[in-house]
Structure 1
Amino acid sequence: MRKFLVLLDDSHESLNAMRFAAMRAANSDGRVVILSVIPADDIQHGFGVADVMRAEAHQRIEAHFDVFAKWMRTRPKVEPELIVREGDPAEELIALIGEDPQIGVVVLGLNADKSGPNPVLNRVLREASGLSCPITIVPGDISRERLEAIT
């Protein structure tokens, strides 16, 4: 079974990437794996603070995931899988691709407002020749109707 890997963050382009991955998975009998990475810099260490911050980050991620998972289960009828890691988002994404041979496509959103470089996308593109799967880049400002038409 082919898995579509998407990186979950708070951006609008992440939303479109997840929509695209879910619709493609539904149309190809695949699955969606959603990776969310807690940046190591976001966790302050000492006096039990790290555990509290880590738990809060997990709760925030799971609440965010639940919204998308509910839509995926009802609309395209895809059961998503959530993976939460700590570290650098690009490194964790690349590591997961290497660990799971069923990942068939990485789906990343492209920032629509061009406010700055996307470090994850830049890193993945630099290492694209060494990846075991293709990368699909979904424009952040593409409409839902257009996504449905192309999937």
Structure 2
Amino acid sequence: MSETATAAKPAAKRRTKFLVVVDDTPESRVALRYATRRARNIRCGVVLLRVVEPVDFQQWAGVAEIMRSEAHEAAEQLLHDLAEQVNKESGLLPELVIREGVVRDEVLNLANTDPDIRMLVLAAAPSNGTVGGQGPGPLVTALAGQMAGDLSFPITVIPGSLTDEQIDRLT
């Protein structure tokens, strides 16, 4: 058997996972619902990533540590709440990941360390019908535009204004 065939065999046994970056925006919930429904239908996993922005309070180290701790606790609570929702709606138990840093960098870092992640699912922020609206959001702009070539898997960007019923029809 050739070396290529041997290397391909273990990769085929890996479990495909969809990566969803979650935050406090409504569009992240849209991306989560889409990824969860799609994952349930094709029998793969979901990874929820919450990135905590670093706290820079050098003059007050004690305050910075408290702020960092509170941010991590809030991230844990958010992920556990979303995981419960995912499980209730789909029966899936998502992986929960908290990272500290810049969101786009941490997405790339996680993608590079977990070969089972095969797709990133994002939802674009709605423009609210205004000219020059808020745009798709900084993460969508960075990852789907400037950094798309740095990922080894596709990015799915869905409209952040989709309703649950619309998402269910798509998946």
Q: 1:114-137 deviations in whole A, cap 9, x for unaligned?
A: 324522112112121231110011
Superposed counterparts of 1:1-151, under 5 Å: 1-40=15-54, 42-45=55-58, 46-113=60-127, 114-116=133-135, 118-125=137-144, 126-151=146-171
Counterparts of 2:162 and 2:36, CA distance in 1 = 15
Counterparts of 2:61 and 2:139, CA distance in 1 = 32
Identity %: 36
TM-score after normalising by structure 1: 0.92
8 A contact 2:16–2:45 mirrored in 1 = yes
Q: What is the root-mean-square deviation of aligned Cα atoms in Å? A: 1.4
TM-score after normalising by structure 2: 0.82
Higher relative contact order (CA 8 A, sep 6+): 1
How many aligned residue pairs are there? 150
Counterparts of 2:109 and 2:61, CA distance in 1 = 30
8 A contact 1:43–1:54 mirrored in 2 = no
* 3-state DSSP of counterpart to 1:75: helix
Alignment partner, residue 3 of structure 2: none
Q: Unpaired runs of 5+ in structure 1?
A: none
Q: Could you tell me which amino acid in structure 1 is paired with residue 92 of structure 2?
A: V
Q: Unpaired runs of 5+ in structure 2?
A: 1-14, 128-132
* 3-state DSSP of counterpart to 2:105: helix
